Structure 1
């Protein structure tokens, strides 16, 4: 189950440099919150890159009663997390490690002091699995802990249950804003042992519909039961693939950079006022420089190249010499490889990164 694919195009280093350049150019001209947010993303990315890239940090996140801790114990093969009727059960995050050698500095950076060695074998060497508090906890400190770690981990595994999978708190506070992170997102429908097979299928279809509306098209959705073990082999296989690829950390950071660049672009007003026009007039070429930096940071050159390749690919498939058409059908469509073929979340687009920024800075 290979879910991540290498993407050709601007490197993470070049995109981070472009994001910092855009933040510097936007200083004093765009809202400070957007500028400081972009710098924070760059700093966080730099810190993560300097820590172990041989480990993949996956977090089990979800609402009260979704069964995160039970799933955590089932995957780890030991009763590491307390499971009980009284809520909330999990107050601080804890980590299960499969071969934790060299993971100490990474866990220190994550500020997760509770660490356990997993009891299960297999091909999960390098996995750090976190059990998070409830994102809808009645305790504010628990929700803040979730929000903090959701910004830091490499892979997000959202655990939902048949009763609360459509909860607005999940979709509006997390999934929709994290649409750019769909390559590092997995959704697990837990407690399927409580439902008849037809009801499970209905829930999965409805969850898929909600995810598509959130801009999360293509995100894996697995049906599992931590109690009976249903679906656990498939979840383990997915985690094994992600760990062996060692790309989740970089995919996460790339999505962070894209989101930060979009944040800078959308922070620009639709029409530049006199002050903005004066600032641009006093610094010739600054508008184009900011637009170029934002485009590079957001990966727009990569998307533009993929669009061109995609048009050529589809043209050959549709109109080329019969033998060429037949051979082309076995080659992946460049747009589908990038997962940008009709998959942008509502209200966002690659063009939005250059469009609004260009209007603001050119006046």
Structure 2
């Protein structure tokens, strides 16, 4: 008997129910599937519904067009900047959604055949199976727009080998599909042309059992070595690990400048430029958040990030987030005027205030349940075998 297919068209989110399989497609291709308040609400609704549905066993996520998701809708933040509590509802829902993806009881699979950045990548990395291709591009570029590494990334980046998490969070460096698998930020590399076959076979499996899903993905995935010029190769990673182990952003930059002056280390210069172009306030917040994340649970990281997000949007310490959005998204002059302009002028007491817990009734309220994929899995991993 043919399986019944139930399709849902919610505009920004498309769904299909096929037997025990549920398929979600982010459907804003012209906007690179940016995460809007409507999208967050719909994704939360479907994930909650299917977690309680005994006929739903496997949930597959993908994006339409050339992106999985380019991240949050920055214009929403900008347009709400004059509100007393800017975007608090959508931010709260987004953090709950991130928590739900980390802890969902059903098997989640992401098929990522394009851009996956910031908040968009926060949907991908926690899933039990995150499949990437040669077209996948990952980054956490929040410092460049005056924001911080949010949506659980102080938890996930802090669990990468050595100080790679600080490097990615502070510089916004991009990783390709091969590098994502090498770091553990993705689980499988499948050639782009094979994704339709993988999706078809997963749907045909009509099961969510991990020991049934994994062999199918394994069969179509390939073992791929990272490129010789990757930041993960042994020599370059050693430099990154040493430089980004320093106690402060100022010391990190100084260490990078020393290394960049050495013969053969020109590859460092773009990352140095990125650091020097980014919001000094954001850099300080990001470094502290990732460092704290190493000792925090998933729930603690999400609660902390919620506080930071709301305090940044309330301009507690600086208006850099709105200046960054203006410069790169609204006016597009690519010339943000950060306040303050340099790292030395950032008020450390104000940084401390950004992290301070809210009153209990204003905190993000999520259970202290552990995530299903990330708990300790990649700590101490090595990239050496991938080079």
Q: Which has the higher contact order (CA 8 A, sep 6+)?
A: 1
Q: Greater helix share, 1 or 2? A: 1
Same fold (TM > 0.5): no
Larger radius of gyration: 1
